[in-house]
Amino acid sequence: MDGVDREALAQAVQTALARIGEAALHVQKSHPAAYASQPPQLRMLSALADGADTIVAKAALAAGWRVDACLPFPREQYANDFSAGAHHDDFVSLLDQATSTFELPGNHAEATAAYEAVGRLLLEQCDVLLALWDGDPNRGRGGTSRVVADAVARHIPVIHLNTHTDAPAELLWTGLSDAEIEQPSVEIVPRAAADVAIAQVVAALTIPPEHKVDTRMLARFYKERAATSTPALPYPLLLAITGVRPISRRDMKPMQADASSAELRALLSHSAVEIGDDGSNPKREFADRLTHRYGLADTAASYFAQVFRSGFVANFTLAAIAVMLALSGLLFPAFKLPIIIGELVCVILILINTNAGKRFGWHERWMDNRHLAEQLRALALTSVLGELGLRSHASHSGRDAAAVPGWVGWLARATARETGLPNVNADTAYLTRVRDMALKLIDEQMAYQQTNAGRMHKLEHRLHQAGEVLFISTIVACVAWIIAKISGIPMGLVGKVGMTEIVTFLTAVLPALGASIYGIRMQGDFAGVAFRSQVTVSRLERLKRAMLKDPIDYARLSARLKNLADIMLTDVSNWRTTYQARPLTLPG
């Protein structure tokens, strides 16, 4: 950084960091329900290179920020890049003060590729890029200009401090324009004075979604508690009656959040990420938050899935029973009053069940919590290599079926920030453990999806068969009556009840039961679920074969983990698209 006024540049960095801190504090005070009462914990990620990185890291520590270090080479090798004396001492001092240090397995024989890798990792980890840059776009691979260009292309806000002029800090960000810019570049990206626009950027990135549905769902999640028991047994009973699987203990006593969290924590332990250290390690606190939120979301999703499915099974069953009771008056005229009362009770129960589902949000809480659980599980998977997916967790103001719900995206992104950077050396041994963890998750997911596909296929087949039997039975009853009528067979049986009344009862009740079964099939989309599970299994099998053939390589493994996360999230997105338009409604 020859010819640069370091003191002036350091002052500009301090001013930018102060404005970010003020904006974050304002968001926290403006939304106390969404944030902890402690001052915001801000984090600076840096490669700690001599020059600009050192200036920014020192300023961040002075401002009370956390500093995380991402190094292009193992620390012992990287330290050799610093000349003896003050530069080397600064590096060692900053590294000692770093909360987390992630050492990439680069080598000096391919130094440019190593610097490119650390630049990509930085962009995966950051919400805002602070670029101390002379503005020259022709700096080659791995340099500041390349990182800035990539940040702009990814819609990451860039605060540009020019190292060779006294021009005020400038913000480069596509979010400054109301129009969507599909392929932004440094040349066309909107710009604004940073001292004015920083508050807008921080607010856009951190303010919780304000859509009324998102606000309600986020408040519910904060209050979510795993149920110790459930009366929602119609769906498990349906599975048992159709021979899909017997009723289990978990059907009546749902899994608790701690148990679900422990399962994810056990999976992560395969990569030796520091979540099992003593409480003095701040990384454990962040990892515990991720697994705890996952446990809450996972158990809530499973609970409300059973409640919702039991709700529509109960509604269609009660509707069929109401029809059967209404027609029973033909066979048992002496019991007309209790029959009508029974029919009335069925109708009232349907109304109560449907209104309860809407009031307590069974449908929404099932879908949104499942989406959140899968987002967090994908984050847990990719974060062990520093991939936070901050761009994929962007909030949506709308509620379209295919989008990540606003509150889910916001909370997943907040959790990603807290998760931060792994405090590890990504050497061959570590990468091998990460690969083993991914393979274990793939095996678990394939086993689950295969079981789920088999069960849903069997349920669909059994219900389809039952519907066919009911409608064929209706035809048989009609034909039998016609034959008896033509043959002159006496229609009277006992008292006022004759074959005509019985056939009338059967030919009305049996189709009603068939329609009820059809309604359950359509609402549950069991065939679609089975098909999607089979597609997911196929994708996972291909990925597993590829991973087993791959050499142990950071970039390759990182791409594979992203692919695995994409498979998992695509599955839940397709599932959501199907069920979004199928809330609990009155049958008919």
pLDDT > 70 fraction of the chain, expressed in percent and rounded: 92
Looking only at the bridges linking them, the beta strands covering 497-498 and 191-193 are unpaired
Helix, strand, or coil here: 119? helix
Looking only at the bridges linking them, the beta strands covering 170-172 and 191-193 are antiparallel
The predicted structure's pLDDT at residue 2: 58
Whether the per-residue pLDDT at 134 is higher than 90: the answer is: no
The predicted structure's pLDDT at residue 229: 83
pLDDT class of 282 with cuts at 50, 70, 90:
very low
- In this predicted model, what pLDDT tens digit does every residue of 478-512 receive, in sequence order? 998 898 888 877 766 655 677 888 888 999 999 99
pLDDT class of 98 with cuts at 50, 70, 90:
very high
Query: Cα–Cα distance between 376 and 261 in angstroms, integer?
Result: 11
> Where exactly are the structural domains of the chain?
6-206, 212-580
Whether the per-residue pLDDT at 204 is higher than 50: the answer is: yes
Q: Dihedral angle at the C-alpha atoms of 52, 57, 63, 68, nearest 10 degrees?
A: 140
Query: Cα–Cα distance between 248 and 583 in angstroms, integer?
Result: 26
The predicted structure's pLDDT at residue 266: 85
The predicted structure's pLDDT at residue 179: 83
- In this predicted model, what pLDDT tens digit does every residue of 1-40 receive, in sequence order? 556 678 888 999 999 999 999 999 999 999 998 888 888 9
Q: How many CA atoms lie within 13 A of 201 on its CB side?
A: 29
Fold of the domain built from segment(s) 6-206: Rossmann fold (3.40.50)
What residues have CB less than 8 Å from 437, skipping those under 6 apart?
267, 268, 270, 271, 381, 384
Contact by Cβ (8 Å): 374, 572: yes
Global pTM?
Answer: 0.89
Whether the per-residue pLDDT at 108 is higher than 80: the answer is: yes
pLDDT class of 276 with cuts at 50, 70, 90:
very low
> Which whole number is the average pLDDT over 404-417?
90
- In this predicted model, what pLDDT tens digit does every residue of 316-373 receive, in sequence order? 999 999 999 999 988 888 888 999 999 999 999 999 999 999 999 999 999 999 999 9
Across the chain, mean pLDDT equals 88
Among candidate residues 207, 232, 537, 212, the one with its CA nearest the CA of residue 366: 232
Phi/psi zone of residue 386: left (φ > 0), alpha (ψ -120 to 50 degrees), beta?
left
Beta bridge partners of 66: 43
The predicted structure's pLDDT at residue 463: 97
The predicted structure's pLDDT at residue 255: 87
Tokens of 184: 């932004």
pLDDT class of 399 with cuts at 50, 70, 90:
very low
- In this predicted model, what pLDDT tens digit does every residue of 498-555 receive, in sequence order? 788 888 899 999 999 999 999 999 999 999 999 999 999 999 999 999 999 999 999 9
Among candidate residues 403, 395, 129, 386, the one with its CA nearest the CA of residue 273: 386
Lowest mean pLDDT among 92-101, 229-238, 397-406, 479-488: 397-406
Phi/psi zone of residue 62: left (φ > 0), alpha (ψ -120 to 50 degrees), beta?
alpha
